[in-house]
Chains A and B, each alone.
Chain A
Amino acid sequence: MLEIKNISFKSDDGKDIVKNISLNVESGKIVAITGPNGGGKSSLAKLIAGVYEASSGSILLDGEDISGCDITDRAKKGISYAFQRPVSFKGFTVRDMLSIAAGRELSDDELKELMGTVGLCMYDYVDREINQNLSGGEQKRIEIASVLARKTKVNIFDEPEAGIDIWSFQKLIDVFKNLRSVSSATQLIISHQRGILEIADIIIVISDGKVAVSGKPKEVLPTLFEMDAYQNCPVGKRCSNE
């Protein structure tokens, strides 16, 4: 169980980015976080992972307060985070990265399976450096694989669909569904994609740093997509009108 209590975050210039958000996320669930760009979704994910430090509030993992833990300790306690923009590493091969993620050397069979789940052929990629010679989509898949390699309690994916082709995207959805059926890991997925929102157990709409709407897909989706300009932040408009 992941509990977020009254979490807030201010940017360096003092702007309120996340405003007093509270959430309870049960183990084994897929939680999709959506909402307009700039609304605070990624910041919330980074607060949970420990990339950002909250200005107030607390985060509990299985009852343990991890608010004071840095990113390393949170990773060790079972939180994984797939960055929205993957990082390049000169000299690091895909094999290196996935082995660090797993905490041990991975066999070719394990790498083959892991990379296959994100639509990459192991033999074509495993010894390539994670640098600008890989496309954005290829780097994104490796980033997702680095989280899957960890087998942790909470997996956070920040817009996993970005840069991924339709075939691989559908495969990724299957990966999320499969993870739910075979493990008790919680998956927190930030996404604008209907395909992901539809498989979620809970959808949380974040707008203007606050939870605007939350509920099951059948409750949230009709309203969300009836708005004719979801991409133009209607959720935000609706919240401010309210």
Chain B
Amino acid sequence: MNNITGDLLFKIGVDKDAFDGAYSLRENGACSGLKSTDNIKIEKHPEGEGIVIKISSKTKGEKAYIPACVTKSGINDIVKNDFYIESGADVKIIAGCGVHSEEGGHALHSGLHRFFVGDGASVEYIEKHIGTGTSTDKRIYTESEFVIGKNANVTVVSEQIGGVNNALRNTKATLEENSVFTVRERLLTDNDDTVDTVFDVVLNGEDSKTDVVSRSVARGNSFQKYVSRIEGNAKCTGHTECDAILAENGSVEASPCLAAKNGDAELIHEAAIGKIAGEQIMKLCSLGLTREEAEQKIIEGFLK
């Protein structure tokens, strides 16, 4: 593992304990470390680059780390990961991706992730994305698909915390009876960064629930496009919310979309976009912060 990888791993929240349990570390387009445990089996994907993770029903409170780093210019890392989570398993998966490239170069990580979540399973999936280095062509593309069984609970915490110049983030989920899908997304873009984020959640099961909340800050000349669609095909509840702060010349386009195809579907969407309220800055200044410190605190709190 080189120093840049170490730095990227630190920034995406992968700590030194990560390699004690089940893990797969990917560096510059190749697997550079892989370990299974009794309950979590990680194997190379039979169809090419990527891994297959099988999480047994005996898994209770275990973690699996699957970070990917691109630390050199000229790398196009394209990977496919499949997760099979057995009924009743309880697991936390820490993913995340860091891309690094210096001026004039480019770096790309593109990940296709599929999750097959068994009945009654509980999954927390955490991914942080970051870009470092002077290149203005650092990209991360992710496509995640969750197939969620009955009575299962899936929480996704997804953050893009800066330095990624171009990102596509697609997340799809289908829910069966009494299952829950929760998303907390945080995005920070700056300079000429662009990001497209799409959520498409289909509530097929009776009493299934989803709550998709995205908070973002668009600085510099960056542009964010947010689309969130919830389809209710049964008695279900869905909520999607996009809150965005604009700074400098940043811009955000948000399109929440609801499709209630059952009379008992209860779906709500909210979207709020605007600059930091002057009264918020004034309040923090009245506590002794400068205007710049106040803005920074507000953004940090908003994205926390």
Contact = CB atoms under 8 A, between A and B. Distances in A.
A90 B302 contact: yes
Interface in B69-93: none
A134 B38 CA distance: 47
Contact of A83 (B215, B283, B288): B283
A100 B289 contact: yes
A80 interface: yes
B286 A90 contact: no
B286 to A, nearest CB: 5
Nearest to B243: A90
B37 interface: no
B284 A100 contact: yes
Contacts of B285: 70-72, 75
B290 interface: yes
B277 interface: yes
A103 B288 contact: yes
Question: Of B280, B286, B289, which is in contact with the most chain A CB atoms at under 10 Å from its CB?
Answer: B286
Interface string A98-136: 001101000000000000000000000000000000000
B282 interface: yes
B297 interface: yes
A140 B191 CA distance: 38
Contacts of B4: none
A144 interface: no
Nearest to A129: B301
Nearest to A77: B288
A87 to B, nearest CB: 5
Interface in A53-98: 70-72, 75-76, 80-81, 83, 87, 89-92, 96
A89 B280 contact: yes
Interface in B244-302: 277, 279-280, 282-291, 297-298, 300-302
Nearest to A92: B301
A49 B285 CA distance: 10
Nearest to B302: A91
Nearest to A150: B287
B304 interface: yes
B303 interface: yes
A155 to B, nearest CB: 11
Given A72-B288, A72-B289, A72-B290, A51 B301 contact: no
A146 interface: yes
Contacts of A81: 286
A57 to B, nearest CB: 21
A76 B284 CA distance: 12
Contacts of A50: 286
Given A89-B298, A91-B215, A100 B277 contact: no
B301 A91 contact: yes
Given A72-B289, A72-B290, A90-B215, A51 B282 contact: yes
A87 B280 contact: yes
A100 B302 contact: no
A62 to B, nearest CB: 17
Contacts of B304: 91
Question: Of B282, B297, B302, which is in contact with the most chain A CB atoms at under 10 Å from its CB?
Answer: B282
Contacts of B282: 51, 71, 87
Contacts of B290: 72
A89 B284 CA distance: 11
A70 B281 CA distance: 13
Contacts of A51: 282, 286
Nearest to A78: B288
Contacts of A70: 285
B301 A96 contact: yes
B286 A49 contact: yes
Nearest to A70: B285
A50 B286 CA distance: 8
Given A72-B291, A146-B287, A87 B303 contact: no
B270 to A, nearest CB: 12
A70 B286 CA distance: 9
A76 B287 CA distance: 8
Question: Of B215, B283, B284, B300, which is in contact with the most chain A CB atoms at under 10 Å from its CB?
Answer: B283
A103 B284 CA distance: 11
Given A76-B288, A87-B280, A90-B215, 15 more contacts: A71-B282, A72-B289, A72-B291, A75-B286, A87-B277, A87-B283, A90-B243, A90-B301, A90-B302, A91-B300, A91-B304, A92-B301, A101-B287, A103-B288, A150-B287
Interface of A: 49-51, 70-72, 75-76, 80-81, 83, 87, 89-92, 96, 100-101, 103, 146, 150
11 contacts: A72-B288, A72-B291, A75-B287, A83-B283, A87-B277, A87-B280, A90-B301, A91-B300, A91-B303, A100-B297, A150-B288
